[in-house]
Amino acid sequence: MVQTRRDVLRAGGGASVLALLAAVGLVMPGAALAADWNKRAFEGKTLSDAFKGLGAGVPANSADIIMRAPDIAENGAVVPIGIESKIPGTESIALLIEKNPNPLAAAFDIPAGTETMVSMRVKMGETSSVYALVKANGKYYVAKKEIKVTLGGCGA
């Protein structure tokens, strides 16, 4: 059998597309549906993985980020957390929970005209440090708070 270059390419290309589809399908069906979802950051298993995925590297500590959250959360399935950034030029705010299986919980883009403050409710598996990461003028800043969890939110 004479194999032309074209045949080889076709066969190789077809196989790799199939492999790719299988991999995507197995790992996470629908990953292609939300194309802008930052898979790398959200699936990072450690705080530094998540920071890297967000492009934050090692953020600087800041006292101008205010986190409104309880010191003790009785129900880890519903922990109310508010983050406000007083850093001028804040572009985005992210919330990370260090001891959750995937620390990154949420990331918000804040366009001009929107106040640099968000409130939400998140799940916490256990007592953990919670980080508010803020991007302002291309630089990253972080604030940290420890929240004690009486009842974990993962089996709930």
Sites of contact with another protein (CB under 8 A): 28-31, 33-34, 36-38, 42, 77-80, 82, 97, 100-102, 104-111, 113-115, 117-124, 153-155
Give the residue with the Cβ less far from another protein, 16 or 119: 119
Quote the least distance from Cβ 45 to another protein, whole Å. Answer: 12
Give the residue with the Cβ less far from another protein, 16 or 36: 36
- Give Cα separations from 19 to 29, 63, 122 (angstroms): 14, 48, 36
Quote the least distance from Cβ 15 to another protein, whole Å. Answer: 27
Quote the least distance from Cβ 107 to another protein, whole Å. Answer: 5
Long-range contacts of 86-89 (CB under 8 A, 24+ apart): 86/116, 87/62, 87/116, 87/134, 87/136, 87/141, 88/136, 88/137, 89/136, 89/137
